[in-house]
Structure 1
Amino acid sequence: MSENAPGPGDPRGTSDPAALRPGGVMGGTGESIVVRKAETGRRAAPSTEEEPEVFASTVRRKPQSEAGYDEAPPGVGRLGVILGTVLAVLLVGSGVTLWLANRPDSGDVAPAAAADSAQSPSAEASEPTEPTVPPIKDTAAVLPKVSGAVGTKARIEVPKEQADGTFVVKTLTEGDGPVVKKNDWVTVDYTAKDWTTGKDIPSSYDKGAKPQLFQAGAGELIAALDSSVAGRKVGSRVLVVAPPEAAFREQGNSQLGVGAKDTLVFAVDIVRATDPTAIVSGTPTDAPADLPQVKDNGKKAAEITVPKGVAAPKALKSAVLIKGKGPKVESGQKVVVQYTGLLYSNGKKFDSSLDRGSAFSFVTGGGQVIEGWDKGLVGQTVGSRVELVIPPSLGYKDQAQGSIPANSTLVFVVDILDAG
């Protein structure tokens, strides 16, 4: 997940939940593995009430991708920051109040900002305001021409006339796949151009680049992409004309040579869409006799039975229960998974994304999750269901974490839904 710690521009986060990890943050900007929902970056005072715990932080994180079109970690992706630049990047160097209402159908604002505006009208009047994202239309006075087949790099020709500020999202070729819903995990390819300068912008079709994976309408990306796929069919090519207010706003993007007043053009190819409650398909096979046995439970948390009289392994153990037909997961890729986790010692479940009805995403190999996940999932194929038995040395070691005692061996069943 991206999805890095929630920074000042993150729509939901306040501080880094990764700091809660025993021993400190994993690998720079890592994902906290088990956090209490009430905690937001520092260890909370002991409570006498039992609070729900989650394996993966429910605080939204800044998205990352191998393609580099999110705010990629150092050394990952040569294309730099563009479509997936989180609001933290958009607000760098400014004192602008967080603003989330970047879609015509959204009235959400950051709770802190809403409270401040209600309590201090004079302060609100003195603070700079973000430009409003224009309403989406399907045409404008003049439009770029897009040619080429869906699934290949598009050719974008911009008119001699300058853009008129209209935010256009228009289906050029309609696919025959399912309609993308808000909060679906979507994989897209794209070609991009700066209308104002006529210069090409790095594309997912460029050599070494990869598709972009993000959650539709979740407010993680610039409005140009965030608003371009929901309601459209998989297999479609969509033209997006994004005025500055729907792209990088007054900051522009110096790394890409995008100026503060530049209008951008995208040809977006919708490759896949995955419902956040989805699971992998296929007939499961039994795990080896010396590993916990898994009973498929559909879209409910898997039933996992730890074998009696079998000592917990001291090394990472894994078993592929369903072999997916997708590509292999590479280190540095963003993946979307469902999972169920329990303690090897007593078989007690401590978390499941299926119980929450929402898949979990993270970037592999970046220390965002416990080491057993990074080692056990990289190299597996998309569409697979994998059982992992993780010794303490690749989990939380000698530190207790919520309901997980120190030196615990952990068992996970993970469905790999997508990777981008």
Structure 2
Amino acid sequence: MTRRTAPRLLLTAAAALSLAACGGTDSAAPQVPETTAAAAGDCLAEAPTTEAPAGVSTDLTVKPEAPCYSAAAPTELVVSDVVVGTGAEAVAGTDTAVKYVGAFYEQAEEFDSSWSRGDDETLPVTVGAGRVIPGFDQGIEGMKVGGRRMVTIPSELGYGPAGQGPIPGDATLIFVIDLVSAG
């Protein structure tokens, strides 16, 4: 698997979604290796809610780990504030910088992370500009600087049935997002 940078992966989301709308399937889409999947007993049995899940670090200096779930994946975006920030709010049109970890819903296997490129690495996102997958964009809106949020993104608001890069089609994703700046 070749490593893609987060900006390239997230910026191509719109293209992937438009291609998915054209129909067809890609039988060669990457699959999540079963050998790296978390044991079912390690996963949370209840689907994500707006309540922050236990186990996601509240220490913004530490790379967070996304939990895995054995419950059926949600069909709508689920936003859970782990830490509520006190700084500027990210609203439509705001230029932000975020740190993130992206993982698969049922395995908690990380597929991308700004943290893996350095503790100070951030991703610039203009809220509502459509340069990232819709669920990521919607998940940032309303956050305040200094906040950490877990966003569970159904396939329809992610990479759709076609998938993209290391993301298989119809994948439900979890992002743990830290809002570093907004303004």
TM-score (norm 2): 0.73
- Compute the displacement of 1:166 (Å): 3.0
Q: 2:16 touches 2:162 (CA, 8 Å); kept in 1?
A: no
For 2:178, which of 265, 269, 274 is the aligned residue?
269
Counterpart in the other structure of 2:113: 203
Closer/same/farther in 2, CA of residues 151 and 188 from structure 1, 3 Å limit: farther
Sort the Cα spacing of 1:145 and 1:85 in 2 relative to 1 into closer, same or farther, 3 A: farther
Q: Percent identity?
A: 24
The residue identity in structure 2 corresponding to 1:200 is: E
Residue of structure 2 equivalent to 1:89: 16
Q: Of the two structures, which has the highest relative contact order with CA contacts closer than 8 Å and spacing of 6 or more?
A: 2
Equivalent residue letter for 1:177: G
Q: Tell me, yes or no, if structure 1 residue 70 matches structure 2 residue 7.
A: yes
Structure 1: distance between partners of 2:179 and 2:160: 25
**Unpaired runs of 5+ in structure 2?**
24-45
Deviations 1:177-225 (A, max 9, x none): 0112210100000111101344211100014583110100112210121
1:162: how far off?
3.1
Per the alignment, in what secondary structure is the counterpart of residue 152 of structure 2?
A: strand
Give the conservation status (yes or no) of the 8 Å contact 1:175–1:235. Answer: yes
Describe the SS at the equivalent of 1:227.
helix
SS at match of 2:71: coil
Q: 2:114 corresponds to which letter in structure 1?
A: S
Structure 1, residues 106-156: CA drift from partner, whole Å, max 9, x if none?
Answer: xxxxxxxxxxxxxxxxxxxxxxxxxxxxxxxxxxx5225442212421022
The one-letter code matched in structure 2 to 1:272 is S
Q: Which residue is 1:260 aligned to? A: 169
- Seen in structure 2, the aligned counterparts of structure 1 residues 213 and 146 have a Cα distance that, compared at 3 Å, is farther
Q: In the alignment, which residue of structure 1 is the partner of 2:153?
A: 242
RMSD: 2.3
Please give the residue correspondences for 1:176-195 in structure 2 after superposition, counting only pairs within 5 Å.
176-195=86-105
Give the corresponding residue for 2:41.
Answer: none
Matched length: 152
Q: 1:75-123 CA deviation, whole Å, 9 max, x = no partner?
A: xxxxxx2x33341233347637xxxxxxxxxxxxxxxxxxxxxxxxxxx
1:136-215 alignment, distance < 5 Å: 142-143=47-48, 145-148=54-57, 149-208=59-118, 210-215=121-126
More helix by share: 2
Gaps of 5+ in 1: 1-66, 72-80, 97-140, 275-420
